[in-house]
Chains A and B, each alone.
Chain A
Amino acid sequence: EAQVTQNPRYLITVTGKKLTVTCSQNMNHEYMSWYRQDPGLGLRQIYYSMNVEVTDKGDVPEGYKVSRKEKRNFPLILESPSPNQTSLYFCASSSRQGLIYEQYFGPGTRLTVT
């Protein structure tokens, strides 16, 4: 089954404790991205990756890091989480076939930083 998986699905942590949210896709997609969703703001892109070893900042990259060492994986790293990073996070992937490439979303990770 074609899918994007994220782990963990729920996470409660404390300020300053480094964490990683994993993302993996099995569709051989080149393009992967991370979004955060906050009430009234929709989804905002954090980072994206066009292919292995190619990453770039989205709209709200501050406080986040990513890496793309393998095509299927795109982890999101919070080196020193803060309460304003409490949010719902989505990983997404798509192929690069012109404009008609819908993004496939993971199930989401709900992060709470206290």
Chain B
Amino acid sequence: AQKITQTQPGMFVQEKEAVTLDCTYDTSDQSYGLFWYKQPSSGEMIFLIYQGSYDEQNATEGRYSLNFQKARKSANLVISASQLGDSAMYFCAMREVNNNDMRFGAGTRLTVKP
């Protein structure tokens, strides 16, 4: 079964600095999608960024970029120029093309310090 691992339960970063949140995954499929979601203290799930397994370039969305290393099965989220509003839980998730469920990691709690 596919599995998502986020090894950092909590991370701290200074405001305006960059931070990398780690995510590794396990799958035997060749075709899959990787997602990152943000969950602020208010509880809602906010979609941040998507990377397809066949995409040759790393995905970017504003201050978010995904460092995709297919051979190592890692999909780390990079947040540049951190802001106080970035403090939240961050979840990595994966869906395989032949599977109907989306698997989530346990999450990383990011705290941005002023």
Contact = CB atoms under 8 A, between A and B. Distances in A.
B47 A98 contact: no
Contacts, number: 57
Nearest to B100: A48
Given A48-B100, A59-B101, A99-B33, A42 B106 contact: yes
Interface string A39-51: 0111111001010
Contacts of B6: 42
B44 interface: yes
A107 to B, nearest CB: 6
Interface residues of A, number: 27
Interface in A36-81: 40-45, 48, 50, 56, 58-59
Contacts of A58: 101
A50 B101 CA distance: 10
Nearest to B31: A99
